[in-house]
Amino acid sequence: MKAVCVMVLGTSSGAGKSWVTTALCRHYARMGLKVAPFKAQNMSNNARVVAGLHGSEGEIGSAQYFQALAACCEPSVNMNPVLLKPEADTKSQVVVLGKVDPVLGKTPWRERSAQVWPHIAAALDTLRAENDVVVIEGAGSPAEINLHASDIVNMRVAVYAQARCLLVTDIDRGGAFAHLYGTWALLPADERALIRGFVLNKFRGDAALLAPAPEQLQQLTGVPTVATLPMWFQHGLPEEDGVFDDRSKATGAVHTTIAVVAFPRISNLDEFQPLKNMPGVRLVWARTPADCAGADWIILPGSKHTTADLAWLREQGLDQTVASHADQGKPVLGICGGLQMLGEALVDSHGIDGNAPGLGLLPLVTCFEPDKTVRRAHLRFAAVQGPWAALAQQPVNGYEIHHGRTVQHTALAEAGQLAHEVLPGLGWQNTAGNVLGVYVHGLFEDPAVLTALFGAQTPTLESVFNGLADFLERHVEPGVLKALIEP
């Protein structure tokens, strides 16, 4: 018997689809059902390494990774069969079932849709055969009529799975009832019939003031408003779609300010969510030298286009800021693309990312190669110096996603600028100990690492998932969530 499919659609990006999907995964899992998440196509540079096909490993969007954990199942590439990783305004790397497909990356959008649909349908069929419930997340809006004919992520999936759909809107933006009605009205009749309920998200104030709009909307569409979700500023999950909160917030007295350089093509920024949740830590997204003023740490994060982001860094004058910070003996951490930037040079003989001089804070050279490294990492720091000394002998569970192989520059090492190698494949640091570069993502998602560095913990993912489900259950009309999965 095939699984029942529940689908979360949105009137726009940022409406709240991802966290509602995550909450539904945990809600149905707590009912004792076997549950899996699914998103046909995601566009994001936030990715995780998961189980692939035939014993391999591959990458999927981070949102589906967290949704799988909420559903109490092992994440797999079937849960996000197509991942688009933007490299420029009109160019994306195309990942199909966890692996880069260079041919599809050069294929026009509409032609690409026809080629990837069989992979999407097969992946969904696999999940439906193995589970009781599949919770599907849409993308953007299902009513983009210029894209409807080539849609492979919203209503084509809904019709294929005969999914029971909820349509979520962000009422805090204004125009919510027009957004809901307009989305419903633009859909063909057979697709409208799949929408079982409207959800008002991010509501502030007295819900009684909404009347009589929900009743009038139901008279127009036949669809009830099944939930009004209050504004929730910190649900504990990373934001989807590469969106992050510019406001600097911290819980309790601030003891550490961390500036994360926000490159235009920043990747895996969601791995810093635990720092946002950490008591006493203030996280700042830095785009100018002024944003780094007073920072205790500077982090150079991952990048989907390292040389372009390095050029941007120099244009902003942030290269001098990072160098000055390091010269003062303050901690600088480079992760993945950030590690590559810390070296002496980026060498590209294959036309992958481009050539560029590095920041020269570590005597390393990175050579870009056609093959992409995608793997889960279970490693251990060796003897780490300086502000990172608490990580000595600390096991690390994370993942690697990168082009390029980084090696120590022998001539510079012999000249006395030796970088201390922490562990092959994990990273390097300078002789002073304050500059550290690692390839592995997910350091701050490891509770043991957070305890070693800060002596404290953030809320566990389990508590976040249960909190999401509790919140949803409190605010959805009684019986609605059960009715969505009944015959």
Q: Which residues are part of the catalytic machinery?
A: 336, 441
CA distance 69 to 25: 9
What DSSP character marks residue 247?
A: S
CB 98 within 8 A of CB 56: yes
Tokens of 318: 């942030």
CB 362 within 8 A of CB 435: yes
Q: How many CB atoms lie within 10 A of CB 67?
A: 32
CB 239 within 8 A of CB 277: no
Q: Which amino acid is at 387?
A: P
Tokens of 451: 């305890």
Tokens of 66: 């967290």
Q: Which amino acid is at 140?
A: G
CA 477, chain centre distance (Å): 30
Tokens of 181: 């009605």
CA distances 54 to 57, 105, 256, 398, Å, are 9, 23, 44, 22
CA 287, chain centre distance (Å): 20
Tokens of 426: 């994990």
Q: How many CB atoms lie within 10 A of CB 288?
A: 12
